């Protein structure tokens, strides 16, 4: 028990270091001489199209262009985009080549139309604070970086969203040593979120852009690693105070979205998947039954591991604008994560593939 408590305390300490060392969006840059190309891939985004464009139009950075790719949408996306004809440029997506992933091909087409000094790729479910882009530019300039990305604040509407979506912040603030990620160009120490990626144009093009990762289901991580391999500095920032992303509306969307990413994100490695599963079962589920035993026996030291992981989760949620009560879900989230990973492995092995936006990826 003492060993478990010491290990969890070390995890807590590392998390606190990451929280305080990751840059945040704060001061904004008033220089409007640089042109920003906002690039939005959209496929069946009738519920998001209008609001995301309005949030970009409200940006305090005035020197901008907005380009939207309508990726063969089958809903009212095109009709909604037509409302902004005089403020945005809409291009129709080409048929998807066999060796490309849908979103990656859409982003590639967008980059070919962009004329800005910076390319800002944004998902349709993102909403920007008016100063978010200026603040992100300020970090890029201060740190001499060519890419800034980060994990937005995530509203959670369904049960699975509450259990799984905030874990994205947990993974970054716990597992990734942010000092190494942000101060070196080592590709292995990389995290990114495709919902918000602001590239310096030259670095993006010189590294091959999205074409270099055309068949990746986790293109955000892979394109960031590609930039690092080409000698460019990339910054992972806490953008949750300036960017929100309502990723999934239903439990089904949560399951499908994470299923296509989790096993792929582990390099489709069975050994890595087993290690991750055992890790979360031992350190983030086991404290719950131990605490129950402690309550029954009146032995309070058995409750301490659960309190430590609750505190760790609470600090991360507080730093990223998530619900202040989410921490109580952590043991259940660990179980859900393992089940999700097993499901993702099975889909990969049996060849059924991953379904997303009406397309199947294997």
DSSP per-residue codes, 133-158: HHHHHHHHHHHT-SEEEE--B----S
DSSP output for 164-221: HTTHHHHHHHHHS-HHHHHH---TTS----TTEEEEEHHHHHHTTGGGGGTT-TTHHH
Annotate 8-43 with three-state secondary structure.
HHHHHHHHHHHHHHCCECCCCCCCCCCCEEEEEEEC
| pLDDT attached to residue 268 | 84
Report which secondary-structure segment, H or E, holds 320: none
The answer on 284 and 229 residing in a single domain is no
CA distance 163 to 156: 9
Per-residue pLDDT of the chain (362 residues; tens, 9 = 90+): 889 999 999 999 999 999 999 999 987 766 778 999 999 999 999 999 999 999 999 999 999 999 999 998 989 999 999 999 899 999 999 999 988 999 999 999 999 999 999 999 999 999 999 999 999 999 999 999 999 999 999 999 899 999 999 999 999 999 999 999 999 999 999 999 999 999 999 999 999 999 999 999 889 999 999 999 999 999 999 999 999 999 888 999 898 888 888 888 788 889 999 999 999 999 999 999 999 999 998 888 999 999 999 999 999 999 999 998 999 999 999 999 999 999 999 988 886 766 766 666 65
| pLDDT attached to residue 360 | 67
| pLDDT attached to residue 299 | 87
- Cβ within 8 Å of residue 277, ≥6 positions away: 338, 341, 342
Task: Report which of 177, 235, 190, 225 is spatially closest to residue 24, judged by C-alpha positions.
Answer: 235
Based on the structure, what is the number of domains in the chain? 2
- CATH code for position 192: 3.90.550.10
C-beta separation of 308 from 9 below 8 A? yes
CA distance 192 to 90: 26
Give the structural domain span for 319: 2-18+252-361
The answer on 263 and 232 residing in a single domain is no
- Residue where a domain terminates, one of 199, 224, 248: 248
| pLDDT attached to residue 359 | 67
The answer on 269 and 225 residing in a single domain is no
The answer on 210 and 154 residing in a single domain is yes
| pLDDT attached to residue 130 | 94
Collapsed DSSP state (helix, strand, coil) of residue 119: strand
CA distance 317 to 169: 8
| pLDDT attached to residue 30 | 67
| pLDDT attached to residue 164 | 94
The answer on 267 and 190 residing in a single domain is no
Measure Cα distances from 310 to 86, 286, 337, 348 in Å.
50, 13, 17, 33
The answer on 185 and 49 residing in a single domain is yes
The answer on 224 and 85 residing in a single domain is yes
C-beta separation of 197 from 147 below 8 A? yes
The answer on 232 and 129 residing in a single domain is yes
Collapsed DSSP state (helix, strand, coil) of residue 64: strand
| pLDDT attached to residue 31 | 72
- Residue where a domain terminates, one of 248, 275, 296: 248
Terminal alpha carbon distance of the chain:
43
The answer on 220 and 144 residing in a single domain is yes
The answer on 190 and 53 residing in a single domain is yes
C-beta separation of 197 from 108 below 8 A? no
Collapsed DSSP state (helix, strand, coil) of residue 327: helix
DSSP 238: B
**Pairing relation of β-strands 354-356 and 359-361?**
antiparallel
C-beta separation of 266 from 272 below 8 A? yes
The answer on 32 and 47 residing in a single domain is yes
The answer on 153 and 119 residing in a single domain is yes
| pLDDT attached to residue 263 | 86
CA distance 56 to 31: 17
- Residue where a domain terminates, one of 248, 270, 298: 248
Pull the structure tokens for residue 328: 């109580």
């Amino acid at each position: 028990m003492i060993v478990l408590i010491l290990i969890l305390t070390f995890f807590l300490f590392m998390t606190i270091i990451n929280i305080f060392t990751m840059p945040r969006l704060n001061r904004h840059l008033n220089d409007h001489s640089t042109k920003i190309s906002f690039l939005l891939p959209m496929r069946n985004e009738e519920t998001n199209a209008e609001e995301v464009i309005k949030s970009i139009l409200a940006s305090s950075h005035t020197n901008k262009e907005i380009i939207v790719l309508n990726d063969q949408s089958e809903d009212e996306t095109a009709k909604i985009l037509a409302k902004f004809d005089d403020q945005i440029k809409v291009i129709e997506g080409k048929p998807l080549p066999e060796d490309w992933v849908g979103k990656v091909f859409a982003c590639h087409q967008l980059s070919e139309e962009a004329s800005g000094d910076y390319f800002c790729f944004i998902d349709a479910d993102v909403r920007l604070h008016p100063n978010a882009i200026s603040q992100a530019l300020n970090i890029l300039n201060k740190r001499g970086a060519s890419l800034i990305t980060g994990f937005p604040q995530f509203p959670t509407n369904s049960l699975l969203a509450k259990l799984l979506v905030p874990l994205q912040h947990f993974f970054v603030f716990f597992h990734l040593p942010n000092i190494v990620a942000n101060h070196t160009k080592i590709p292995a120490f990389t995290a990114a979120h495709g919902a918000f990626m602001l590239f310096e144009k030259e670095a993006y093009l010189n590294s091959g852009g999205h074409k270099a990762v055309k068949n990746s289901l986790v293109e955000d991580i892979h394109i960031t690693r590609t930039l690092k391999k080409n000698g460019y500095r990339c910054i992972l920032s806490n953008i949750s105070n300036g960017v929100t992303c309502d990723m999934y509306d239903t439990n089904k969307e949560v399951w499908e979205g994470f299923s296509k990413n989790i096993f792929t994100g582990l390099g489709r490695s069975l050994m890595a998947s087993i290690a991750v599963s055992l890790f979360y079962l031992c350190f983030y589920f086991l404290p719950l039954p131990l605490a129950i035993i402690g309550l029954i026996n009146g032995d309070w030291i058995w409750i301490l591991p659960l309190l430590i992981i609750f505190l760790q989760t609470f600090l991360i949620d507080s730093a990223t604008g998530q619900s202040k009560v989410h921490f109580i879900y952590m043991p259940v989230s660990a179980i859900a994560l393992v089940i999700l990973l097993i499901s993702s492995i099975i889909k990969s092995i049996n060849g059924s593939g991953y379904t997303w936006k009406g397309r199947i990826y294997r």
